[in-house]
Amino acid sequence: MNFYALAGKVIPIFWFLAITLTLLGLYLGFFTTPDGLSSGMKEYYRIIYVHVASSWMAMWLYGVMVFWALMGLVFNTRLSYMMASATSISGTIMTVIALISGAIWGKTSWGTWWDWDPKLTTFLILLFVYIGYIALQSAIEDTRRSDKASALLALVGLALVPIIYYAVNCPDPNQCASLHQESSLQKTEPSILIAMLVTTLGFWLYSFATILMRVRNIILQRERKTTWVSKLKETH
C-alpha cells in the first residue's frame, strides 16, 4: 500500500480521536475543574485549554516542519518536502489561534489585547516565519526550487523556537519583564492539567488529520499526470 492510500485510511481514525479528545478535554475543562470563585482564580483562566494547546502545537509543528524540510534537503525525497509544506499551514493556523486566544485572555486579565513584550513578540515573529515559508513556496513556480528555498528558510527560522521557549520560561524576570506569566505546569492543579493535556492531544490528532488531508491534496496536484493517479478510483 502506498503512502497516499495509507493516509486515506488513517485520516478518519485521526478525525474520530481528534473530535472525541478535544470535546472531552473541553468538557473536563468546563465542568470538572474548579470554578473561579472557589479556586481563587478568575473564570477566564479556562481560555488556557485552547491557548496552551495551540501554543504548544504551533511550536511543535514548526519542529515537525523543519524535520521534514531537513529530510528533504538531506535525502532529496519529494514526500518530505510535501510533508513540510502541508505542516506549515497547520502550524500557521495553530499560531493564529494561540495569538487570538492570547489576545482575548490578555484583554480580560491585563486590560489590553496586546503588549510588545518578548513572549508575545517572538510568537508574532513565528507567525511571520510561517507566512514567509508559505509565501516563498507560492512565489517560485518550479516546485523543486521552491521546496529547497523554503526548506532553507524553515531551517533558519528554527532559531526562533528556543527563543520563544526561553522567553516564556525566562529564569530571570528582570531580563524579560512581561505581562505574560511564567510557565507554571508544576504548580497547575491536576484536574486542570489533565483537561489541558487531553485537549492538547486532541489538537495534536487534529493536526495529524489535516496535515495528511493536505499532503494527499499536494500529492494529487503534483502527480496528476502520472499513471498511478489516473488509475485511482476517485479519478473515474
Partner 1 sequence: MVVILGSVLGNYAVYILGAMGAALFLMLLEPILLMLKRRSILKDVKRFIRLDERKNRSE
Interface with partner 1 (CB under 8 A): 26, 30-31, 35-37, 42-44, 46-47, 49-51, 54, 89-90, 93, 96-97, 100-101, 104-105, 107-108, 206, 209-210, 213-214, 216-217, 220-221, 224-225, 229-230, 234-236
Which helix H or strand E contains 114, and what residues bound it? none
For the chain, state the CA radius of gyration: 20
**Residue closer to partner 1, measured from CB, 113 or 128:** 113
Tell me the closest approach of the beta carbon of residue 102 to partner 1, in angstroms: 9
C-alpha cell at 55: 501554543
Tell me the closest approach of the beta carbon of residue 198 to partner 1, in angstroms: 15
**Residue closer to partner 1, measured from CB, 148 or 222:** 222
**Residue closer to partner 1, measured from CB, 18 or 170:** 18
Tell me the closest approach of the beta carbon of residue 206 to partner 1, in angstroms: 6
Tell me the closest approach of the beta carbon of residue 190 to partner 1, in angstroms: 19
Burial of 133 (0-12, 13-18, 19+ CB in 10 A): buried
Tell me the closest approach of the beta carbon of residue 104 to partner 1, in angstroms: 4
CB 215 within 8 A of CB 83: yes
Tell me the closest approach of the beta carbon of residue 220 to partner 1, in angstroms: 5
Taking alpha carbons only, the member of 150, 202, 197, 161 closest to residue 62 is 161
**Residue closer to partner 1, measured from CB, 170 or 204:** 204
**Residue closer to partner 1, measured from CB, 42 or 144:** 42
Calpha distance 16→175 (Å, rounded): 44
Amino acid at 202: G
**Residue closer to partner 1, measured from CB, 43 or 189:** 43
Calpha distance 11→15 (Å, rounded): 6
* Number of helical (H) and strand (E) elements in the chain, helices listed first: 9, 0
